[in-house]
Amino acid sequence: SIDEFGAFTVNIYPNPVQHMLTLELPSGNKNIRIVNITGATVLSLQSSLNTERINMSNLPNGIYFIQIESNNQTVVRKVVKQ
């Protein structure tokens, strides 16, 4: 799925995900958080990469929210883990 928020474009796939989630991100430093349906942060990382791969195979199946913050803007995407 693709989200545009000003000049801030994010592409996240596959969705639903089983193992590896790929995030195509804008350039620059980003804070990435994966939050479960109860609001608990299950993963938090900083990245300067344009493509980030996240292993989700150890997370329980369910709905997660990927929060990406860059240049004081935040994009949130829903991802289903199967």
Pair of tokens at residue 42: 């299950």
Helix, strand, coil shares of the chain, percent, nearest 5, are 0, 65, 35
**So what's the pLDDT on residue 1?**
52
* Mean pLDDT per 10-residue section of the chain, whose length is 82 residues: 60 97 93 97 96 96 96 92 97
Instruction: Measure the CA–CA gap between 4 and 8, rounded to whole angstroms.
Output: 6
The answer to whether residues 17 and 56 touch, using CB atoms and an 8 Å cutoff, is: yes
Rounded to two decimals, the pTM is 0.88
Using CB atoms within 10 Å of the CB of residue 25, give its burial: 0 to 12 exposed, 13 to 18 middle, 19+ buried. Answer: buried
